[in-house]
Amino acid sequence: MGKVYKEAAGDVQEAIDIFEYMAGEGRRLFGRTTPSELKNKFSATIRIPIGIVGLITPWNFPIAIPAWKLAPALICGNTIIFKPSSDTPLCGIELMKIMIKAGLPEGVVNLITGSGSKVGNPIIKHPRIHGLSFTGSRDTGKFIRENAGLKKINLELGSKNAIIIMEDANLNLALEGVLWGAFGTTGQRCTAASRIILHEKIFKKFEAMLVSKTKRLKLGNGLSKTTDVGPLINKAALEKSYKYVDIGKNEGAKLLCGGVGIKGKGFFFKPTIFSDVKPNSRIAQEEIFGPITALIKIKDIDEAIKVCNGVNYGLSSAIYTENMRYAFRAINELEFGITYVNSSTIGAEVHLPFGGTKDTGWGKEAGWSLDEFSEEKAVYIDFSGRLQKAQGIS
């Protein structure tokens, strides 16, 4: 999909980590025991598989995200229909080859390639598929909700993430976090930092630091180890980035750098920074999924939290500060599934939950996804030797 070599290596390592972690979880699919309300009766729960689950995965993490879904679905005992993105099907096929080589029984995971309309829709609507996990756009998530029937559904959708940088922040550390969050994977992450919320006291200084460093980023072939930013996934993504540059200009935002593509082969777009962005403008509200970020000025922590929360999404957030009060206010008050302190919005770990609030969807992935791929079943064993009716019935 064009990401730079070091990120591709990280994509693969994430898959290794989640399979290793979930292999251990196979010994910890615990149930619960609890006293019964009746004498001589035992009650407990066990975990059972859903049955057949459908996994529909995106192109931006073509190894890691399928692994995030496959590993827990398998360890819970399900069989799987797996549809990788039409933009990156070969990565899904290579992952299947690895699982088969590792001893995966035939028919347990079934990969089907194709478009959303021809393959995705039948998976979403099929009555024998009882569970569904999807990562992708909010609009597709809404379609799934309306058409999947009574399936157990996990949806990981878009977001409009933000990094807050307060007046006391380590600006050099924050700079590295913004560059990584805004332009890593060419901005094509659901955790990408497309809003930078800056305290007015350090706004101009940080703006100059960011523009200077951004202009030095090297675009090119992701396979070259000297490349900082690779291409966008396809022509539609390139055209979308151009569209939002025009939207930003028309809204009165100040274009500081970027805003154009590069002539020649490949869907390259220069890392783009807008300044003087209003919190309610479209480039500060809508997910762009490209290398475009918006600088927003605030006067205090109250305004920072209000602006950060003032979007319809809620996946990842971050704050740079040395002030413990600021940090804990962000932890407690930001309406996001993930909050980082003095780190970027990117960098999930497999043993922690990954998921968001509001239009970002529902359910959790990674280490807390066993609940998404199993059901808890109640078990009663009556050893009284007689029929004990429900409590209250003589």
DSSP 197: E
Three-state SS for 220-267 is CCCCCCCCCECCCCCHHHHHHHHHHHHHHHHCCCEEEECCCECCCCCC
Provide CB contacts within 8 A for 108, sequence distance 6+: 74, 79, 80
Tell how far CA 348 is from the center of its chain. Answer: 9
CA-based nearest residue to 75, from 44, 56, 106, 50: 50
Q: Is 156 a catalytic residue?
A: yes
Please pick, among 7, 14, 156, 365, the residue that the annotation labels catalytic. Answer: 156
Q: Is 190 a catalytic residue?
A: yes
> 278: which 2 tokens?
């209003």
The secondary structure element, H or E, covering residue 91 is helix 89-101
Q: How far is CA 205 from CA 10, 344, 348, in A?
A: 32, 19, 30
In terms of Cα–Cα distance, which of 118, 64, 51, 59 is closest to 88? 59
Q: Which is nearest to 290 in space by CA: 347, 252, 238, 223?
A: 238
Cα–chain center distance at 24:
23
C-alpha distances (whole Å) from 257 to each of 187, 214, 241, 292 are 15, 8, 14, 10
Ordered DSSP codes for 37-83: SSTTEEEEEEEEE-SEEEEE--SSSTTHHHHHHHHHHHHTT-EEEEE
Annotated catalytic residue: which of 7, 190, 287, 308?
190
Q: Which two tokens stand for residue 332?
A: 């407690």
For the annotated catalytic residues, the residue numbers are 156, 190
